[in-house]
Amino acid sequence: MAANLQVLLDNRPTGKVSPANFRTVETAAPAPGPGQVLVRHQFLSLDPYMRGRLSDAKSYAAPQEVGAVMGGGTVGIVEASNDPRFKAGDAVVGMGGWQRYGSSDGRDLRVIDAKAIPIQAYLGPLGMPGVTAWYGLNKIIAPKGGETVVVSAATGAVGSVVGQLATLAGARAVGIAGGPEKRAYAVQELGYAVCVDHKSPHFADEMKAALPNGVDGLFENVGGEPFAQAMRRLNTFSRVAICGLIASYEGAPTALPDMRVFLVKRFKMEGFIVSDHMDLWPQAIGELAGHAAAGRLKWRETIRDGLENAPQALVDLLHGGNFGKMLIRIN
């Protein structure tokens, strides 16, 4: 029987996440029972939301169970199936977790086309990050032509899609990213009008210069100082979509402005979890796939080889060590 490598949560972090919070084990691959599907995973998605699940504090999702396989999105190939909806050889996307093999009752699996588009794209621009970008931009910010949309973590898995969709909608996309390489990629490849380096000692002045007409839409992924600087420049009737606050996940403060600004600027700020809107996923993925097929949607990936390296890769992700979508290549 094939060996199934698994990464478990061994203990909850008391401060910043460390590889010591995880444990790698090897078990026998499960055999699919009645109505079940066995999938050999090829890629694992690493995402900022995982940091929140490592805590046992009350949140929108149940905490990750200590001693259990870490949860996470996966793409892979069906090895065996006792479910007529799936056959051996199908490429599928699901929530198989941090393990080489996963068995499922099929409710979390979706057959995908791995011929036209690389299989791992269904964990990035054509998966949860892409749908997150599509929903936050179209349903909350809803940019009009000529408006200014600011995107933090502008070259990340979500932000890179937001910037391109905003530009396609006729808005002026302004990115925030860390370092000259990411800034150049944002402008030259993703189509941002300008990208500001949050690591610059002159960050506040550079944000002011990049936003001569203020901010009509803010897609927030980070929190901390980038969030504060963008909030200071909100226009009247602007819209703020809160997708993530990755800086605060590791302890950085994210302070709201004086509450009077809500009244003075009459802006809308809405946090959202994309899994609350599953009815819109087919529409979103259809539109994103159309952009990808036409060459209008670009993306970049950071791929680490080996499931045993997932804990360190998550730590790196939480500290900006990824360029685009962070993935683990399992096989």
Instruction: Indicate if the pLDDT at residue 162 is higher than 80.
Output: yes
* Cβ density class 96-126: b for 16+ within 10 Å, e for less: bbbbbbbbbebeebbebebeeeebbbbbbbb
Helices 128-135 + 281-293 axis angle, to 10: 100
Q: How many CA atoms does the CB half-sphere of 186 hold within 13 Å?
A: 33
Higher-scoring residue by pLDDT: 187, 255? 187
Spell out the domain ranges in the chain: 3-124+300-329, 128-275
- State the Cα–Cα distance between residues 283 and 293, nearest whole angstrom: 15
* Res. 251 pLDDT band, cuts 50 70 90: low
- pLDDT of amino acid 60: 74
Instruction: Indicate if the pLDDT at residue 254 is higher than 90.
Output: no
Residue 141 bridge partners (DSSP): none
**Which residue, 85, 132, 133, is CA-closest to 110?**
85
* Res. 249 pLDDT band, cuts 50 70 90: low
* Res. 7 pLDDT band, cuts 50 70 90: very high
Helices (H), the chain: 49-53, 128-135, 159-168, 180-188, 203-210, 224-231, 246-249, 260-265, 281-293, 310-318
* Res. 144 pLDDT band, cuts 50 70 90: very high
Instruction: Indicate if the pLDDT at residue 63 is higher than 80.
Output: yes
Question: Helix, strand, or coil here: 13?
Answer: coil
* Res. 303 pLDDT band, cuts 50 70 90: very high
- State the Cα–Cα distance between residues 202 and 96, nearest whole angstrom: 44
Instruction: Indicate if the pLDDT at residue 253 is higher than 80.
Output: no
Q: What is the mean pLDDT of residues 88-94?
A: 96
What number of residues does the chain have? Answer: 331
- pLDDT of amino acid 75: 98
Reported pTM = 0.89
The arrangement of secondary structure in 128-275, i.e. its CATH architecture, is 3-Layer(aba) Sandwich (3.40)
**Lowest mean pLDDT: which of 54-68, 128-142, 196-210?**
54-68
The top-level CATH class assigned to 3-124+300-329 is: alpha beta
Q: What is the mean pLDDT of residues 88-103?
A: 97
Higher-scoring residue by pLDDT: 25, 60? 25
Query: Would strands 37-45 and 325-329 be described as parallel, antiparallel, or unpaired?
Result: antiparallel
Taking the CA atoms of the chain, what radius of gyration do you get in angstroms?
Answer: 20
What percent of the chain has pLDDT above 70?
Answer: 97
- pLDDT of amino acid 147: 98
Continuous segment of H or E residues that includes residue 4: strand 3-9
Through-space distance between the first and last CA atoms of the chain, rounded to whole angstroms: 17
- pLDDT of amino acid 1: 63
Q: What is the mean pLDDT of residues 93-106?
A: 96
- pLDDT of amino acid 320: 87
| 307 CB neighbour count, 10 Å cutoff | 21
Instruction: Indicate if the pLDDT at residue 61 is higher than 80.
Output: no
Mean pLDDT of the chain: 94
Residues 6+ apart with CB under 8 A from 6: 24, 25, 26, 27, 69, 97, 98, 99, 100
Instruction: Indicate if the pLDDT at residue 58 is higher than 90.
Output: no
Residue 128 bridge partners (DSSP): none
- pLDDT of amino acid 134: 98
Q: In degrees, to the nearest 5, what angle opens at C-alpha 64 toward C-alphas 58 and 70?
A: 155
**Which residue, 147, 324, 161, 139, is CA-closest to 241?**
139
Q: What is the mean pLDDT of residues 64-78?
A: 97
Residues 6+ apart with CB under 8 A from 235: 213, 214, 215, 216, 265, 267
DSSP 64-103: PPTTSBPP--EEEEEEEESSTT--TT-EEEE---SBSEEE
- State the Cα–Cα distance between residues 228 and 57, nearest whole angstrom: 25
**Lowest mean pLDDT: which of 134-138, 204-208, 290-294?**
290-294
- State the Cα–Cα distance between residues 10 and 261, nearest whole angstrom: 44
Q: What is the mean pLDDT of residues 278-298?
A: 94
Residues 6+ apart with CB under 8 A from 151: 159, 162, 163, 166, 173, 174, 175, 176, 192, 219, 221
- pLDDT of amino acid 114: 84
Biggest CA–CA distance in the chain, Å, is 66
Q: What is the mean pLDDT of residues 255-272?
A: 88
